[in-house]
Structure 1
């Protein structure tokens, strides 16, 4: 599995909070989404409580999805969530609300 993870990392930009699981090779948009894909008890290596990566179907059952860049996120962003994120970005960058100048709102999917 670790060889697979090393191969997948080539050509992928990991910056900020983005990361790749050394066990399964999946890419995650945040440490939070990475931690969400791990299950079992830390320090247990065998048996039903062993610490492991969830498989793809288990992650999907929890509502996790891949974003447009191919990184797992904890949930799909709603239209309202996108608006809130854009508003926060504009406020952080300019100190003004997006409503003051709607053309400044970013449209990320």
Structure 2
């Protein structure tokens, strides 16, 4: 949670006020963790921080990757169908190239 607060440059009190989640609930994440958190609360937090519930619960997802992906999704939403198709095709080409390199690397060993 600290990384997320830092990324938005806010305090727990500001988070409480802006998200509508009681301060005691947010503070409880620091003392009790998220094991007994309500799904509705986690969804509110995920929506506020533009991250996944998985990140909030497990914390094993790189926040930089999460933020970059969220930025990509926001940009992608503003593209028309033709532009989206071009991006999709480019990603498929990159993925195939990555698979080919990985296969060649394994064969060399």
Q: TM-score, normalised by structure 1?
A: 0.27
Which structure dedicates a bigger proportion of its chain to strand? Answer: 1
Q: Which structure has the bigger radius of gyration?
A: 2
